[in-house]
C-alpha cells in the first residue's frame, strides 16, 4: 500500500446514500449481509434482532437512533416492536431516504427523522426517550465524555443506551492501517475498557458488554467481495478513486478485525437515575 494512498479521504457514506435506493446497492447489501435492512455499517438483521431483545421496547416506548443513516434499520425496529422512533443523521441524503421509506410504510405518524449532528447538543427535552441507540457511529463523534452525558440527559431514568464501538484497540496497528481505517471520516480510536469507564462517569450502569468483532470481520469481507464482483458498474457510478478507496477501506477493516487488532463491542447501559 502506498503511503500517499493510505491517507486519502474516501466518500463512503456520500456515495452510499446518493445511490442507496438503486438495485445495484441493494444487491450488494443482500450479498454482503445476508439480508438488506438498509445498513451502512456492520449490523445484520440477526444482530439487530439480538439488540432489540436487549432493549425491551413496547408500543409506548420512545426510541432515539443517533447516526441513523438511511433510517431503514430504525424503521425495522418500529416494525418489529411497534415503538415510536426518532432518528438523527448528519447526511441530508440519508434523512431524505428515511422520510421516504417512512411514507412508503405508512409510518409517518410514529416516526420522526431530523438532519443534525449527533455529536452536538440534541434538540430534545430532558428525559424524553426510553432507549437510545447508536450503531457503529460513536467512533465518528469527538468528545465522548460530553456525548455520553448528553445521551444520558435525553434518556428517562432507567432508560437503556445501546451502542456499538467498532474501533476499539485490542492489538498493534500501524500508522498506515489507521490512515486507511479512518479514511472515510473523523475517527476516534479508544483502548479497551474506556467506553465502560466513561459510561459510569456519565451516570450509566453498564449492564452488558459483548464482543461482536467476528460479525464485523465477516461483513467487511463480504462487502468487499460483493463490490469486487460488480467492479465495472461501481466504477461507472462512483469513479475510479472512490471505488478503489472503498475497497482499500473494506480490505483493511476485514484484516484488522479478523486478526483482533481492532475490535467491535456492543455495550448496553442503563441510566442510573
227-272: pLDDT as tens digits: 999 999 999 999 999 999 999 999 999 999 999 999 999 999 999 8
Percent of the chain with pLDDT over 70: 92
Task: Kindly state the DSSP code that residue 191 receives in the 8-state scheme.
Answer: E
pLDDT at 3: 41
52: which 3 cell numbers? 432489540
Question: φ and ψ at 212, to 5 degrees?
Answer: -115, 25
Average pLDDT over residues 12-22: 66
Q: Which of 189, 162, 133 shows the shortest CA–CA distance to 266?
A: 162
Instruction: Answer whether residue 17 shows pLDDT above 80.
Output: no
Domain positions in the chain are 3-61+134-271
Q: Above 50 in pLDDT, residue 1?
A: no
pLDDT in tens, 148-190: 999 999 999 999 999 999 999 999 999 999 999 999 889 999 9
Going by C-alpha positions, the residue among 96, 102, 104 that lies closest to residue 84 is 102
pLDDT digits (tens, 9 = 90+) for 42-87: 999 999 999 999 999 999 999 999 999 999 999 999 999 999 999 9
Average pLDDT rounded to a whole number, residues 215-220: 96
What confidence score (pLDDT) does residue 12 get?
Answer: 59
The answer to whether the beta carbons of residues 87 and 65 sit under 8 Å apart is yes
Q: How far apart are the first and last CA of the chain?
A: 50
Q: Which DSSP category does 138 fall into? A: G
Q: Containing H/E element for 137?
A: none
In whole angstroms, give the CA distance from residue 63 to residue 61.
Answer: 6
Q: What are phi and psi of 183, to 5 degrees?
A: -75, -10
Burial of 41 (0-12, 13-18, 19+ CB in 10 A): middle
Q: In a 3-state reduction of DSSP, which class is residue 78?
A: helix
- 3-61+134-271 domain in CATH 3.40.50.150? yes
For residues 149 and 243, give the distance between their C-alpha atoms in angstroms, rounded to a whole number. 38
Q: How far apart are CA 2 and CA 267, in angstroms?
A: 36
Which phi and psi angles does 65 have, rounded to 5°? -110, 115
Of 140, 145, 147, nearest to 189 (Cα)?
140
pLDDT at position 130 over 90: yes
- pLDDT computed for residue 6 by the predictor: 56
pLDDT band at residue 108 using 50, 70 and 90 as cut-offs: confident
Amino acid at each position: 500500500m502506498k503511503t500517499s494512498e493510505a491517507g486519502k479521504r474516501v466518500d463512503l457514506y456520500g456515495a452510499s446514500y446518493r445511490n442507496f435506493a438503486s438495485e445495484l446497492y441493494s444487491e450488494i447489501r443482500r450479498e454482503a449481509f445476508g439480508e438488506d435492512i438498509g445498513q451502512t455499517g456492520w449490523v445484520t438483521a440477526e444482530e439487530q434482532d439480538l439488540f432489540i431483545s436487549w432493549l425491551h421496547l413496547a408500543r409506548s416506548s420512545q426510541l432515539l437512533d443517533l447516526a441513523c443513516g438511511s433510517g431503514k434499520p430504525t424503521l425495522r425496529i418500529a416494525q418489529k416492536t411497534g415503538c415510536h422512533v426518532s432518528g438523527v443523521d448528519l447526511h441530508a441524503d440519508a434523512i431524505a431516504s428515511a422520510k421516504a421509506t417512512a411514507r412508503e410504510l405508512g409510518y409517518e405518524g410514529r416516526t420522526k427523522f431530523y438532519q443534525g449532528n449527533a455529536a452536538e447538543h440534541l434538540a430534545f427535552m430532558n428525559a424524553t426517550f426510553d432507549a437510545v441507540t447508536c450503531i457503529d457511529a460513536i467512533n465518528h463523534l469527538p468528545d465522548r465524555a460530553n456525548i455520553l452525558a448528553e445521551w444520558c440527559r435525553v434518556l428517562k431514568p432507567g432508560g437503556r443506551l445501546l451502542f456499538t464501538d467498532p474501533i476499539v484497540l485490542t492489538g498493534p496497528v500501524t500508522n498506515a492501517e489507521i490512515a486507511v481505517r479512518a479514511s472515510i471520516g473523523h475517527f476516534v480510536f479508544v483502548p479497551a475498557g474506556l467506553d465502560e469507564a466513561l459510561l459510569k462517569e456519565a451516570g450509566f450502569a453498564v449492564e452488558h458488554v459483548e464482543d461482536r468483532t467476528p460479525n464485523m470481520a465477516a461483513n467487511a469481507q463480504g462487502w468487499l467481495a460483493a463490490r469486487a464482483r460488480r467492479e465495472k458498474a461501481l466504477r461507472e457510478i462512483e469513479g475510479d478513486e472512490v471505488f478503489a478507496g472503498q475497497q482499500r477501506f473494506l480490505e483493511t477493516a476485514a484484516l484488522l478485525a479478523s486478526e483482533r487488532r481492532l475490535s467491535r463491542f456492543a455495550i448496553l447501559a442503563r441510566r442510573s437515575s
